[in-house]
Amino acid sequence: MNVLVTGSGGQLGTDIVPILLDTGFSITGLPSKALDITDEAKTLEAVLSVKPKVIINCAAYTAVDKAEIEKEKAFKVNRDGARNLAGAAKKAGAFIVHVSTDFVFDGLKATPYAETDVTHPLGVYGESKLAGEAAVQESGARYAIVRTSWLYGHTGNNFVKTIIRLATEKDSIRVVYDQTGSPTWTKELAKALKAFALAEAKGNSIEGIYHFSNEGVASWYDFAVMIIEEARLCGAPIKCGKVEPILTSGYPTPAKRPPYSVLDKEKIKKALGIAIPHWRASLGAMMTELYGGKRA
């Protein structure tokens, strides 16, 4: 079975391609520099050339704050690119797995968000990703949309790498404590996306919207404290001796963030028969890998 991964050079894409290799499938990874999904003709040409049975779309515009001033660019990638790829999937008879985000919600709920909950994005990034979801659904292609949250991994810019950098440079740092979610290692999400490909290969019915994140709940403050602890255990030259919790109002950003974005994962666990690790376990595993297996 042929599997095409778009955005394979990004934070998530670089994890999923190696994870798919042991399936026995033929894997084609196309980074954004090799395939610009905003180009409809080239996207169709690439898809028809690969002839995939499954397309996993990891290509996205993810600069949450910059999106507020680059709305056209965000929508071009997250909406139009998704439409182009899903349209190509339809013509090729492929099943498309499209990655979306917790930012489609406003965060005003007090219990984990289910797939059926009303969406209400607070900023351009969330709006563009929600528009991308609609484009995939309207394409006529068979699809799974997988919303996730608080992604971090070995590559790209993310919260974990930022906190490590700051903690090696500063005596103290300030981190927001009134935003709550579930940190998610890209490798765990990649395993879930692999499960969709395996299910499709077996002919299982897996169409629809799903939520995936690591188990457990944390504030950004909680997450930062654990990152620093793990970095110390792995031998990082940590200078920071104090993490100060602050309110969102004390750290204004161009884009509003949902104050609560915990996702209900019962649907995906039942559909794919997967177990999901707690975020602390995944963070520890990721940090151990990052530091070459060193751990106190």
- Residues annotated as catalytic are 125
C-alpha torsion angle, residues 23, 27, 32, 36 (rounded to 10): -130
CA distance 59 to 82: 9
Residue 41: exposure state from Cβ atoms within 10 A (0-12, 13-18, ≥19): exposed
Distance of CA 54 to the CA centre of its chain: 18
Which of 78, 104, 86 lies closest to 43 in space, CA to CA?
86
User: Could you tell me how far CA 194 lies from the centroid of its own chain?
Assistant: 14
Q: Could you tell me which residues are beta bridge partners of residue 294?
A: none
Angle at 133 between CA 127 and CA 138, to 5 degrees: 125
**Run of H or E residues at 186:** helix 186-201
Q: Beta-carbon neighbour count of residue 50 at 10 Å?
A: 20
240: amino acid identity, one letter: C
C-alpha span between 126 and 98 (Å, rounded): 15
Q: Measure CA 128 to chain center.
A: 15
Q: Scan for tokens 């700051």, then name that residue.
A: 166
What's the rounded Cα separation, in Å, for the pair 12 and 184? 11
Integer Cα distance of 245 and 257 in angstroms? 17
DSSP-based three-state secondary structure for 260:
strand
